Homo-oligomer: A and B are copies of this chain.
Amino acid sequence: MIFTLYMKTVFFIADGMADLPCMELNGLTPLEAAKTPNMDLIAKKGISGLMDIIKPGTVPGSDVAHLALFGLDPYEYYTGRGPFEAAGLGLDVYPGDIAARVNFATRNADGIVIDRRAGRIREGTAELANLLDGLEIDGVKILFKAGSEHRSALILRGRGLSDRIQSNDPKKEGKPFYEVKALEDTDSAKKTVNIIKKLIKIAEEKFLSAEVNKRRVEANQLLANTLLIRGFGQAPHIPSFLQRTNMKSVCVAGGGLYKGVAALLGMDVIDVPGATGGVTSDIEMKVKYAIEALDSYDFVFLHIKGTDNYGHDGNALGKKEFIEKIDKVIEPLVKVCERGDLVVITSDHSTPCIAKDHTADPVPVIIAGGDVRIDDVTSFGERACAKGGNLRFKGIHLLSIILSAMGLGKKFGA
């Protein structure tokens, strides 16, 4: 039998769920407008509040937000998105590795970006990744792994490397590639630039004769004939979640970034069939896996991404309906808190439909179960939680608050 603590926590992040008043919803937010009997019940059984993920007024990226929510100061631990994406694809990222996000893309003979996603390539990318994975360039080892669609990630492992490298991605089609350039005047940056340039050259040569591209020529599809590389970051040394909290932890997520953060933190990562990190993800299955994981883990991080996608699309009605769908599938969380375990529900940032992007608006947060000071908030929403018993606090403090509620707080002083 696996050892677990007396009390457990389900930590549920609905990505970008928090919002602003929407005209289509008569001035309500999608969360306020949605019928959410289960989340309301959990709010009723818990203590609510507002949370500034980083600090008031600071707009959080998803990577940075999750570091803070897991108690790590992003100003100390965030070095760029690459390491998280690489870890999310299942690459073993070691402290010191230089990691980056990569797109398979299409270029023409004049060095113009024709398609940043290689005709939205969906199949055959593992073949391309394998052509590069394991290469050694100037004594540095290349790890390369394909993700979903056009996405992949790479790791440079070796001495004397830097992450201060400018991407070659012009971010728009029809433009010439940016030159891969050092952003600092150091030998390590120059060395890294040379390796990346050589890698791109090798990739372009090898990809020309790849089977997948032969098939794409026949099917009259755009070739995956080059790489866009961005989000360089040197993997930080992150103390493990177990070491910091004494909790056995696991991640149930679809999106690569969230799995990546979890992996870098030393959480186990469960692959759920049908979990895609998109709006069609099998979120019912994810909740099922999360609940089952409570048997073997103390801390289950459940992440659902679709809310954020609707926010970025500016689709208030779709977001409201997706939140209602979430509410249905998380019904088992009611029982979790009723039996005394802890349930935490929040977002990693606001993605207001009106902004179609992240904003700094604080997110609502409920902590239910255990012996929390139950307040009089009876519905889960941005403005309802502003009247909650936890008032307003910073994201970096959430994990400590959970640990204290679980009886695992570390005393400062005697």
Interface size class of A (residues with CB under 8 A): 35 or more
Q: Are B371 and A231 in contact (CB under 8 A)?
A: no
Q: Which residues of B contact A60 (CB under 8 A)?
A: 411-413
Q: Are A371 and B354 in contact (CB under 8 A)?
A: yes
The answer, yes or no, to whether A360 is at the interface (CB within 8 Å) is: yes
Per a CB cutoff under 8 Å, which of B29, B50, B382, B404 touches A59? Answer: B404
Q: Are A382 and B373 in contact (CB under 8 A)?
A: yes
The answer, yes or no, to whether A160 is at the interface (CB within 8 Å) is: no
Q: Are B393 and A56 in contact (CB under 8 A)?
A: yes
Q: Which residues of B contact A58 (CB under 8 A)?
A: 397, 400, 409, 412
CA distance A178 to B318 in the complex (A): 64
Nearest Cβ on chain B to A201's Cβ, whole angstroms: 27
Q: Which residues of B contact A355 (CB under 8 A)?
A: 371, 407
The answer, yes or no, to whether A192 is at the interface (CB within 8 Å) is: no
- Contact status of A373 and B413, CB under 8 A, knowing A360-B400, A360-B404, A392-B391: no
Q: Which residues of B contact A20 (CB under 8 A)?
A: 371-373
Per a CB cutoff under 8 Å, which of B56, B61, B410, B411 touches A413? Answer: B61
CA distance A392 to B407 in the complex (A): 23
Q: Are A401 and B371 in contact (CB under 8 A)?
A: no
The answer, yes or no, to whether A314 is at the interface (CB within 8 Å) is: no
Q: Are A389 and B383 in contact (CB under 8 A)?
A: yes
CA distance A140 to B398 in the complex (A): 47
This chain's copy number in the assembly: 2
> Nearest residue in B to A101 (C-beta to C-beta)?
B414
Given contacts A56-B400, A58-B409, A63-B413, 13 further A-B contacts (CB under 8 A): A29-B373, A57-B397, A57-B398, A59-B409, A61-B413, A81-B413, A355-B371, A358-B409, A373-B383, A373-B386, A375-B383, A391-B391, A392-B392
Residues on A close to B: CB < 8 A?
A: 20-21, 27, 29, 50, 52, 54-65, 74, 78, 81, 231, 352, 354-355, 357-361, 371-375, 382-383, 386, 389, 391-394, 397-405, 407, 409-414
17 contacts between A and B (CB under 8 A): A20-B371, A20-B373, A21-B371, A21-B372, A21-B374, A29-B373, A56-B401, A57-B401, A58-B412, A61-B411, A61-B413, A63-B413, A65-B413, A231-B414, A359-B409, A361-B404, A386-B391
